[in-house]
Structure 1
Amino acid sequence: MKNLKWIYLIILSIVWGSSFILIKKALIGLTALQVGSFRIIFAALFLILVGFKSISKLTKQQWKWIVISGFLGSFFPVYLFAFAETEIDSAIASILNATTPLLTLIFGVLFFRAVFTQNKITGVIIGLLGTAGLIFSGASINPDQNYFYSFLVILATGCYALNVNILKTRMSNITPLGITAGNFSVLLIPAIAILYYSGFEMSNLSVEIRSSLIYVGILGVIGTGVAMIIFNKLVQITDPVFTTSVTYTIPVVALGWGILDGEVFSFWQLISSFVILIGVFIVNRSKDIVSKFRKQAT
């Protein structure tokens, strides 16, 4: 199980690290609302197909948490990231996504009785300072981009953070496939409704739109459907902070794609990114240090 969690972490890093460039490419022919809606629709159709039996086993009490988890962990973030990348680079969005472990800890303390240690407080402060530095440095070298859209990413990571804590404390008795398939079966109808009102027409499919649909199809099935099954499994076999530490390596993959796609990344953005990751590292390591001291004491 210890080795398996690292395998899951590597797979998620590669898949989700590639998701940001896929969003960017999908936005060439589609609007943000359409990208978000198609991403959910493709993921939902795939997950309902493979997880139908798991959905049928969910109880009425479990459905309450399935609905909450679906909107927090998938619905709102999908649209928030799509809108954010209409103004900011994909690599920047991926690095801001690294604030998820910091917010996971903050929400864990505020709402789920998690414990703050001095090291964790230090890590959160450092990470948030790095986040502020990344946003301000990005705004200075990209004056044509609206960096207020960065806060949409922060809002999305806040949704992720709440969802991780809910998964761990309220949904550990549900199978990963049951959670994921249940989430997206709930989101399918709202996504179709939003797509309809977005003005998308199947009769007018240009080359750009068809290419965008391919990108968002990969994003929906692999980057959302398959990845969420793995992620929910990872939540169940480890703790919330380790689970969200996948954001360490996601920016590395996303940054590589961004550079290949011609995105500009300054020295100060690089420094700010390292500061964020240092903060996340301190938050994660502090738990290990505390547990070691407890073991030694006993």
Structure 2
Amino acid sequence: MQNSTLKWIYLVVLSIIWGSSFILIKKGLVGLTPIQLGALRILFTAFFLLLIGWKSLRTIKKAEWKWIIISGVLGTGLPVFLFAYAETEIDSAIAAILNSSVPLLTLLLGLTLFGATFLKRQLLGVLVGLSGATALILIGASINPSQNYWYALLVISAGVMYAFNVNIIKKYMQDISAIAIATGNFIFLIPPALVLLVYSDFFNQELLRSQEVQLSLGYIVILALFGTAMAKVMFNKLVQISNPVFASSVTYLMPIISVMWGVLDDEKFTIWQFFASLVIIVGVYLVNKKTKTT
């Protein structure tokens, strides 16, 4: 199948998978702390990837391991904890919508640090998208006074890390297979994840017998297998066959899936939040729309 077709298939599938990840995080937090959720997500994912990708590690050159480690920390290691903490205070749908600022952040970092070219319309898209994200945070804080919307900054911080990661993959890891990148990422995340899990008192026998914890573990296994392991490999491949801004546009469609899940789970979503979300999507559209290069 040609890359021009394959990249769109990857984009849609990833949107569905990652769009569903936010509600799985929310459900996982019912019985687990953010530290436990993040650590378990890393460990389960590492297990799945090692089963299928162990041999691919041989293809990674010694000089490339530096970028593999950096990519692992920025693309997964820190964001999984930031999102878990964010969703202790803000709705899953809002977290997903804020995450749609990733293409805008990818463009900004690409321009300033990675020597990417830019378009006039893309610059306008960045400004429009960031204004929509700001409005969404302010509106959410007003209609959900019991929620601490400062936690939305954790989502934005994770978005910055994703933006760094996607530019790093495109510039420095173009010749490494997608499965090797993903597996290599998680090799170095296993030790800190284990330490954090032990520190969190997860292995307390009374805690493990809790029905809430067991149910949450089920959600995290699903999240790790599909939302992290499989999606990570697909995303790495998408970056390689397209470009950083197109690949990060997966966040363009994710909010649609996330809002559907959020509404089904009785989360509040007003018409004003809908309009603010549209502003973000318009910004992402402008970033991806081709026009004359400046």
TM-score, structure 1 as length reference: 0.96
Does 2:55 match 1:48?
Answer: no
> Which has the larger displacement, 242-251 or 143-152?
242-251
What's the counterpart of residue 272 of structure 1? 276
After superposition, where does 1:196-215 map in structure 2 within 5 Å?
196-201=198-203, 203-204=205-206, 205=208, 206-215=210-219
CA distance in 1, matches of 2:103, 2:59: 31
Equivalent residue letter for 2:248: T
Does 2:107 match 1:105?
Answer: yes
Q: Secondary structure at the match of 2:31?
A: coil
> Which has the larger displacement, 56-65 or 179-188?
56-65
Aligned length: 290
What's the counterpart of residue 152 of structure 1? 154
CA distance in 2, matches of 1:116, 1:7: 26
After superposition, where does 1:155-170 map in structure 2 within 5 Å?
155-170=157-172
What is the Cα deviation at residue 58 of structure 1? 1.5
Q: Secondary structure at the match of 1:290?
A: coil
CA distance in 2, matches of 1:209, 1:42: 15
Residues 24, 220 of structure 2: 8 Å contact kept: yes
Q: Secondary structure at the match of 2:194?
A: helix
What is the Cα deviation at residue 290 of structure 1? 3.0
Q: Secondary structure at the match of 2:292?
A: helix
What is the Cα deviation at residue 13 of structure 1? 0.7
Name which of 35, 38, 49 aligns with 2:40: 38
Equivalent residue letter for 1:252: I
What is the Cα deviation at residue 49 of structure 1? 1.2
CA distance in 2, matches of 1:69, 1:155: 15
What's the counterpart of residue 141 of structure 1? 143
Q: Secondary structure at the match of 1:42?
A: helix
What's the counterpart of residue 126 of structure 1? 128
CA distance in 1, matches of 2:38, 2:278: 29
Equivalent residue letter for 1:30: L
Residue identity over aligned pairs, in percent, reads: 53
What's the counterpart of residue 267 of structure 2? 263
Q: Secondary structure at the match of 2:151?
A: helix
What's the counterpart of residue 225 of structure 1? 229
CA distance in 2, matches of 1:117, 1:8: 25
Tell me, which stretches of 5 or more residues in structure 1 are unaligned?
A: none
Residues 121, 291 of structure 2: 8 Å contact kept: no
> Which has the larger displacement, 47-56 or 17-26?
47-56
Residues 249, 284 of structure 2: 8 Å contact kept: yes
Equivalent residue letter for 2:41: R
CA distance in 2, matches of 1:10, 1:123: 22
CA distance in 2, matches of 1:250, 1:120: 20
What is the Cα deviation at residue 202 of structure 1? 5.0
What's the counterpart of residue 74 of structure 1? 76
Tell me, which stretches of 5 or more residues in structure 2 are unaligned?
A: none
Displacement over 2 Å in runs of 4+ = 288-291
TM-score, structure 2 as length reference: 0.97
Q: Secondary structure at the match of 2:90?
A: coil
Q: Secondary structure at the match of 2:233?
A: helix
What is the Cα deviation at residue 203 of structure 1? 1.6
CA distance in 2, matches of 1:126, 1:183: 33
Residues 59, 176 of structure 2: 8 Å contact kept: no
CA distance in 1, matches of 2:57, 2:118: 36
Q: Secondary structure at the match of 2:268?
A: coil
Cα 1:57/1:255, change in 2 over 3 Å? same
- Please list the CA deviations of residues 147-186 of structure 1 after superposition, one character each: whole Å capped at 9, or x if unmatched: 0000000000000000000000000010000000000111
CA distance in 2, matches of 1:193, 1:56: 27
CA distance in 2, matches of 1:222, 1:115: 34
- Please list the CA deviations of residues 229-258 of structure 1 after superposition, one character each: whole Å capped at 9, or x if unmatched: 000000000011110111111000000000
- Please list the CA deviations of residues 116-137 of structure 1 after superposition, one character each: whole Å capped at 9, or x if unmatched: 3221111100000000000000
Equivalent residue letter for 1:254: S
